[in-house]
Amino acid sequence: MIQLENIRVDFAVRGQSVLAVDDVSLAIERGEVFGIVGASGAGKSTLLRVINLLERPTAGRVRVAGEDITDLRGGELRRARQKIGMIFQHFNLMQNRTVYDNAAYALRVAGKSKAEIARRVPEILRLVGLEDKAQAYPAQLSGGQKQRVGIARAVANHPEVLLCDEPTSALDLETSAAILDLLKEINARLGITIVLISHEMAVIKKICTRVAVMEGGHVVEQGEAYDIFATPQHPFTRQLVEHTLNLELPPHLVDDRQGTILKVLFLGDKAEEGVLSTASIRHGVAVNILHGKIEYIGHRAVGLLVVLLTDSPDAPAGLPFPLRLQAALSYIGSQASHVEVLHD
Amino acid sequence: MIEQWIAANFSPELAKQVVELFVDLLNAFGETFLMVSISTLFAIVGGLPLGFLLHVTSRKLFWNNRLANVTGNFLVNVLRSIPFVILLVLLLPLTQWVLGTTIGPTAAAVPLSVAAIAFYARLVESSLCEVDPGVVEAAEAFGTSPLRIIATVLFPEALPGFLRGLTVTLISLIGYSAMAGIVGGGGIGDLAIRFGYYRYQTNVMVVTVVVLVVLVQLVQSLGDRLASRADKKDI
Ligand SMILES: Nc1ncnc2c1ncn2[C@@H]1O[C@H](COP(=O)(O)OP(=O)(O)OP(=O)(O)O)[C@@H](O)[C@H]1O
Ligand SMILES: [Mg+2]
């Protein structure tokens, strides 16, 4: 649906050139929800704005729906943009127009007939759950409602692509979740390809099928959301995921430990409890669960446990603890998807 | 009627004076109204486009043109920095050339209009700068042409600012029109000076000042009401 090839964007700031996006290539499939995640200043917004050429790339090609739009200008570019919806972090609604007029904006621009607009606007307002607010002004709406108007405006003219620049960053958690659900529904029901930017892994995890991770203008890692989340490769991605999982231990647990602390990752539906209790019985170590979490990405689960292995008082006589611990570690390692020793 | 009432209760002398003042005041009021109306009209038809020009020539999206922008800004700044009394005198040849005379409210409307255009253009431009660039960008993202963005985004979003600016312009013009009176424009200011200053009739001065205050109050509250009706940002 969208192909970005070797995109590079330079900005001239007071004579100096700033490289915001450096040689990025992405292929986004029809009907998917593609996430772009990264820290502030990584170049996410710039890359997103290249897709509808709000930002012209210094080098590289942009293809949307099979058409190379990189060199389009004037009317041709405007017609191409009418097929690409966009929503914004700060909604960007016209303050002096009603919800109805805001939602109708893209249709009017596209030159739709009065009759068609009168038919389509109520339909689209119903889809976003604002049919009773048609005559309200943006100032009378909550943040979540404003973003719904933004979504209505963006999808009214049946775009094939919806670009979302941090659509939930100005909203509280609950409203955020509702907006993401709405986007998911729009993707599923209308088949619109969504490209979504966020600096939060939690948002990506909730709706994206695939993700690109950006740092310093580069895409450092991309792949299925599940894989990025379960087995991040790049240090920056790891840090992001770790931050989202928030498996911090209180310092006293680490300082006063009498054994080894492990982080154990289970993918899919491996029975984690079973593995740990088998390790405990078979190798005579005590397993204490310090922290744990099961995350669902799409329909698949990622289980993460932080456990402390200590000497068990009722261990069979014979093997010393370090050897039993070694055996237990290698058993868990063979059963779980990934094991990492956090503190020896 | 009032004349008879005053004559009966006070003195025929005073009654005559009041009636004369009333007639003078009405005349002066009419002249001021004429000067201010003409120049306000020019402020709108001249200042509004000029303000838009200043804005669009500074924006990449529209018509980024340094020459036009610098020229426009220079012109506006020059006109705005010349004290109005001096502008009055400087523009006498222009007035003579346009109207064939330099006397009367219509003649005074020429320098007033020039000042009004520059004044209002600046206010229009600053209202346009206050329009959220995000909203303009959204319109651009939906494939709106620059002209259409001007008509359907910039104009409606800046309209409350335009109305507030127009109120300020109108009030300034009322003040300027009093100055124009000095060089033969007539109007309320002229009346105040002729009677109050040259003839030591302080009461006439007081009355004209009161009339001016009331007029300015009326214009301001009308302007405020219109602007807040157009402004849906905080309701
Ligand atoms: N119009 C511009 N002119 C000059 N520099 C710019 C412009 N837009 C972005 N930049 C620079 O490009 C880099 C990337 O900016 P961008 O807005 O794409 O980052 P981002 O990942 O979206 O960050 P955030 O999460 O803060 O929105 C930054 O260093 C920024 O300063
Ligand atoms: Mg951004």
- Taking an 8 Å cut-off on Cβ atoms, the answer to whether B135 and A92 are in contact is yes
Structural domain that includes position B125: 2-234
Residue nearest to atom 18 of ligand 1 (CA): A43
Ligand having the closest approach to the CA of A88: 2
Q: What CATH number does the domain located at A251-343 have?
A: 3.30.70.260
Q: Taking CB atoms and an 8 Å cutoff, what residues of chain A touch B148?
A: 109
Q: Which atom of ligand 1 is closest in space to residue A21's alpha carbon? A: 14
Check which CATH number belongs to the domain holding B77 and give it.
Answer: 1.10.3720.10
- Taking an 8 Å cut-off on Cβ atoms, the answer to whether A139 and B137 are in contact is no
Could you tell me the fold of the domain covering A2-243?
Rossmann fold (3.40.50)
Q: Taking CB atoms and an 8 Å cutoff, what residues of chain B touch A78?
A: 143-145
Q: Which residue of A has its CA nearest to B234?
A: A139
**What residues in chain B have per-residue pLDDT under 70?**
none
Rounded to a whole number of angstroms, the distance from the CA of B228 to the nearest CA of chain A is: 11
Q: Is A86's pLDDT higher than 70?
A: yes
From the CA of A208, how far away is ligand 1's center (Å)? 23
Per-residue pLDDT tens for A101-152? 999 999 999 999 999 999 999 999 999 999 999 999 999 999 999 999 999 9
| A188-197, A207-216, B189-198, B214-223: least confidently modelled range | B189-198
Q: Taking CB atoms and an 8 Å cutoff, what residues of chain B touch A146?
A: none
CB A324, CB A283: distance < 8 Å: yes
- Taking an 8 Å cut-off on Cβ atoms, the answer to whether A88 and B143 are in contact is no
Going through A29-143 in order, the beta strands assigned E by DSSP cover: 33-38, 59-64, 67-68, 84-87
ipTM of the prediction: 0.84
Side chain identity at B177, as an amino acid letter? S
Residue B209 neighbours by CB distance under 10 Å: 13
Q: What is the pLDDT of residue A140?
A: 94
Handedness of CA B29, B105, B187, B26 (dihedral sign): negative
pTM value is: 0.86
A217 lines ligand 1 (CB under 6 A): no
Side chain identity at B28, as an amino acid letter? A
Q: Which atom of ligand 1 is closest in space to residue A9's alpha carbon? A: 12
From CA A156, how far away is CA A104, in angstroms rounded?
A: 7
Total domain count, chain B = 1
Handedness of CA B140, B143, B149, B152 (dihedral sign): negative
Q: Is A269's pLDDT higher than 70?
A: no
| A128-137, A167-176, A250-259, B67-76: least confidently modelled range | A250-259
Q: Does B60 touch chain A (CB under 8 A)?
A: no
| A11-20, A95-104, A311-320, B110-119: least confidently modelled range | A311-320
Q: Does B227 touch chain A (CB under 8 A)?
A: no
Domains of chain A by residue range: 2-243, 251-343
Q: Which residue of A has its CA nearest to B149?
A: A109
